[in-house]
Chains A and B, each alone.
Chain A
Amino acid sequence: MESILKGRQNQVMTKGTDSHELSCDKSSLAGSVSQRACVFCGSRVVLYPISDALHLVHGPIGCAAYTWDIRGSLSSGPQIHRLSFSTDIKEKQVIFGGEKTLKSALIELIAEYKPKAAFVYSTCIVDLIGDDVESVCKNVTKETGIEVITVQAPGFAGTKKDGYKVACDALMKLVGTKGTEETIPNSINIIGDFNLAGELYLLRDYYEKMGVHIVATITGDGRVDAIRQSHKAALNIVQCSGSMSNLAMQMEKKYQIPNLRVSYFGIEDMSDALYNVARFFDSQDMMDKAIELVRTEVSDLLPKLEFYKKALKGKKAAIYVGGAFKAISLIKALRMIGVKTVVVGSQTGNKEDYLTMKNLSDEGTILVDDTNPLELTQLVKRTNADILIGGVKERPIAYKLGLGFCDHNHERKLALAGYEGMLNFAKEIYATAMSPVFQFTKIK
């Protein structure tokens, strides 16, 4: 039984058998059980980790309730971002407008929490009723002296990916608003890491050991003032292609800051992320330090990985994650521990991403864009995968199928980035792939 929705055939392909190019960047079909979310969701997850800002959701209660402290983005300082603030609009505002409500909510919140800045997310309905959110924000900024930034995020205006762009636009309103124009030598902004399970702390440590100065981390463990000064960095390093390359592009255009695309998953990509920075600054000293760091870390790591590689040899994995760049790194990282990728897909990948995935994959690997549970289930079964790597909605499906599972999304509990993360990743894959619980359900 093959159940690929009509109109989706081109969003699934098998390397070696199918000749068509994978179609992507499409909105989901009406009626599909899509794993995707909306514009609001995209903007919210990107901006959420800025921990000394106020995040006020202007809309009915749901949008705020569902995004209340859902992301494991750690802050080493303030925790205001983990509270849930909503204008909680009712029928009255839907009819008469919500501008007054928004204004008084902002005034009350700013007085109470004294944040460094405030983000106001305007949701589906606010856009429809025509609230002039922008002008309310401007007025409040004038009245309170606290910058209030509009995040135009009506859910229907696209996919989660469009929400990333909206978030980047909001961030650009902060970038360059503090400090001189002068560029700080040997300095970088770390863009697109969200400090899940404290991963950013590892990265920060690596770069600082190389003698690189970090101006801002955007947005993991993010702070408003650091973002304001981020235009002073000499280089932007950008992870997570989907969410934040747009910010880097805008910063390049406006402040001539070049950028490097990096990934921190797996030994290969992590090491490249260090070497490429040293190369960019053309500094032998930095390179020496990077080489030394990689040597130390890898010589410590490799023997430890050996055990997992042996144990996991021949296991097969299916990958379905949000961002494509992550999927690409995962293929490599899995290969390093002896696991073959048989299905790989993302919610938001573009043509270029899928081409990279295809080139990296073995013959017979299935590539898929914006899949749904039924389709994913069939792909996983057809390829006899042992493990699924995905997010919150995929976990219970994997388990029901008797498959191991690794959360590579918001619900990861261990750092998966960097060298330490690679070992955690191997441990996690091993633990789930080898779990004795599956003996009770394996279908012979």
Chain B
Amino acid sequence: MLLRHTTKDIVERTSLTINPAKTCQPVGAMYAALGIHGCLPHSHGSQGCCSYHRTALTRHYKEPVMAATSSFTEGSSVFGGQANLMEAIDNIFTIYEPDIIAVHSTCLSETIGDDLTQIVEKAKANGKIPEGKYVIYCNTPSYIGSHVTGYSNMVSGMVKCLAKSTGVKNDKINLISGWVEPSDMREVKRIATLMGTPFTLFPDTSDVVDAPQTGTFEMYPKGGTKIPDLIASGDNKATLAFGEWATADAATKLNIKCKVPFEVTDLPIGVRATDRFIMKMSELAEVSIPDTITAERGRLVDMITDMQQYLHGKRVALFGDPDQLIPLAEFLLDMNMKPVYIVSGTPGKKMHKRLEELILPIIPEAKFKNGLGADMYLLHQWIKEEGVDLLIGNTYGKYIARDENTPFLRMGFPILDRVGHSYFPTLGYMGGLRILEKILGLIMDKQDAEATESEFELVM
């Protein structure tokens, strides 16, 4: 009877979140900041915030995650946190020697009204920022949006604080990455390289939160977008931003600041979203699509074709972030599966609209909700009304999966109880193969486990 606390009857809840399908902004800002080479993220707030975010990221990546905190006290929350941040900047450059500090605020520092622009300016004026070093920042009030908003704000902060235009454009394009795993960022770089696209990818957490075991502890692992590349992003000829919620704001800001034209596309999850991504890249970078990529696409389509009898009609419930959920739902539809329930704690009216257009013509009974009231408790209640064949989402889905005896594919943030997400991408055609392989494994394992002896099949 473990954790069977969800009831079937859905009662309207006015002011309460049970088992959230989101968390707060700062953790996203911290993760994005780790995608800059030589960066120490800094949390401007109480010690606990920093500790929680580091713990969450450490549990997800099984890697050391470094970040500093302003260590607010009762005094700072009355008199403002300026002194703390100034002291912190000084201490950090002296002791931890990063190339750059990426400051994000918290609900506390936002509510007392600390002005990060003014404080960082003052630190600069007072000589607290050594020559050749940088401090960038963004506002991440926890009471607005979700972890995705925080990620987006930090990516915009990179543009706002670093990107410059010299007036001379170069041949590279910017690839602004949505909130994905280091494995995915590595995969995007592989694809761009295969296509012969000169690019700057940011942020880039590959080789940061998936660092190899070497016997030494590197405070700043070798990965991450280099600062000169971030500065030069203003001179690149175009921007391809993938994952609207996480990157559209940064792409827009870069266009306003440095006149870099941009396209925003979905995260390349599944066949069609990857098609769009590849086409856009080909257009913007003015490169052709090589046969190797076409062959990868063919292999994905081939596997879907081969295994279609195990996929069709399977009901799927998903939860997580809009940037993942939209192309994932599309991919499921393309595999003849039925994404029937979708929730995301991340607000944004667009998600509903996109899913409506995508899903309702094919599955009129599908239910989806995001923002206020869209939590995993609601998702579980829907599942209790009519069950599903597969659940996809972060680790917190395991309670539902256990309660309902439903195969469960872990995707999203955080994954606290399995590994692999750091190393095996879910983006691109190859990532599609990985998702499909996992889905089939789960469905077929269940079939094997539950088959009677006479029905138990050798060949599937």
Contact = CB atoms under 8 A, between A and B. Distances in A.
Nearest to A82: B3
A35 interface: yes
**What 8 A-B pairs have minimum CB-CB distances, sorted nearest first?**
A38-B48, A62-B24, A31-B88, A31-B91, A155-B46, A441-B215, A60-B142, A65-B23
A113 B16 CA distance: 14
Nearest to B92: A31
Interface string A374-401: 1001000000000000001101110111
B26 interface: yes
Contact of B51 (A38, A93, A397): A38
Nearest to B14: A104
B84 A30 contact: yes
Given A30-B88, A373-B66, A397 B217 contact: yes
B87 A31 contact: yes
A66 B143 contact: no
A109 interface: yes
B216 A124 contact: no
B143 A443 contact: no
A18 interface: no
B387 interface: no
Contacts, number: 251
A61 B72 contact: no
A377 to B, nearest CB: 5
Interface of B: 2-3, 5, 7, 11, 13-20, 22-27, 40, 42, 45-56, 58-59, 61-74, 76-77, 83-85, 87-92, 94-96, 106-108, 111-112, 141-144, 146, 211, 213-219, 345, 396
A373 B83 CA distance: 24
Nearest to B396: A68
15 contacts: A29-B91, A30-B85, A31-B92, A38-B47, A85-B17, A101-B15, A124-B46, A129-B111, A155-B108, A156-B74, A158-B73, A393-B51, A396-B61, A396-B64, A401-B217
Given A5-B95, A392-B55, A41 B48 contact: yes
A124 B107 contact: yes
B143 A94 contact: yes
Given A34-B47, A128-B77, A66 B55 contact: yes
B142 A62 contact: yes
Contact of B96 (A33, A125, A128, A155): A33
Contacts of A402: 213, 215
A301 interface: no
A183 to B, nearest CB: 36
Contacts of B23: 61-62, 65-66
A84 interface: yes
B112 to A, nearest CB: 7
B64 A37 contact: no
A143 interface: no
Contact of A34 (B51, B61, B345): B51
Interface in A39-78: 39-41, 59-68
Contacts of A401: 215-217
B19 A83 contact: yes
Given A158-B74, A401-B217, 8 more contacts: A30-B88, A37-B51, A60-B24, A67-B52, A105-B15, A124-B111, A154-B77, A374-B96
Contacts of A41: 48, 51-52
Among B16, B85, B146, max chain A CB count under 10 A is at B16
A251 to B, nearest CB: 28
B94 A6 contact: yes
A400 B106 CA distance: 30
Contacts of B58: 392-393, 395-396
A104 B64 contact: no
Interface string A1-35: 00101100000000000000000000111111111
Contacts of A37: 47-48, 51-52
B22 A32 contact: no
A32 B40 CA distance: 11
A62 B26 contact: yes
A379 B214 CA distance: 19
A125 to B, nearest CB: 4
A33 B68 contact: yes
Contacts of A440: 213
Contacts of A89: 143
